[in-house]
Amino acid sequence: MRDLLSDPEGAAANDPEQRARELSKRELPKRFYKKAEAAKVDGGFAIHLDGRAVKTPAKATLLLPTLKLAEAVAVEWEAQEKEIDPGKMPLTRISNSAQDAVTSKFADVADEITRFVGNDALCYRADGPETLVTRQRELWDPVLNWAGYALGGVFVLIEGIIHKEQPEALLSSFRARLDALSPLQLSALHTATTLTGSAVLAYAVFEKRVTADEAWKAAFVEEDWNIERWGEDAEATNLRAYKRKEFDAAVLILSEA
């Protein structure tokens, strides 16, 4: 499959939106297959293009742990028309990153996600106006309270942008939980974290404490508040729609892997 979906070095630690933009700038290869389908193989489920297995950029057979995920990845390949556009294949990209990068750099990626917790967006609160303050409190406090209880600590809330350290015991507890994830789950969790700005929200989705819609609403509370007052910007709306597709791909993996 050559390097159709190859990522730059260290892709697992990059912004998935930026990674997709970089991929989309490349000259796109032509679609060369008639049919994409999931296939049971040793070690899991592969994606076959006219009977030939899709390879990762590192030349390994791309493997998915469940039939449902493999079928979803196959749908991405089947949806390609005249050209193969990696920017429109988030499930494939997350899976490639998991297999080629996260597997060998698991601790580094887990550490980075934990650093997000130490600077989590849900901890940084507006100091006004009161309507925005109230909305943040309503959407964010239940998630932070659950996470703090689960992790055995209390998150420090900050008004404004001045950084304050979160309790080390809380961060250590969160980091320890990540060791139970598979590389694919960790890759998806990283994607959800970077898209929402909140590892707490991403982990709450993984633990089924909030739905994908609830997490997305919480992640964009300030943006939505501004839209209600000043209206929507078409470019921002399109970007947010693109990010939501990436987020939904990550959530599917977190719920099915």
- Note the pLDDT tens digit of each residue in 68-98: 999 999 999 999 999 999 999 999 999 999 9
Q: What is the pLDDT of residue 161?
A: 79
Q: State the CATH class of domain 11-102.
A: alpha beta
Question: Where along the chain do its domains lie?
Answer: 11-102, 106-256
Neighbours of 14 (CB within 10 A): 17
For domain 106-256, give the CATH superfamily.
ATP12 ATPase (1.10.3580.10)
Please, where are the H alpha helices in the chain? 16-24, 67-79, 90-97, 106-118, 130-151, 168-178, 183-196, 199-206, 212-219, 221-230, 234-256
pTM: 0.90
Q: What is the pLDDT of residue 174?
A: 98
Radius of gyration of the chain (CA): 19
Ranges of residues in the chain whose predicted pLDDT is under 50: 1-13
Tell me the two tokens of residue 71: 């079928």
Q: What is the pLDDT of residue 162?
A: 86
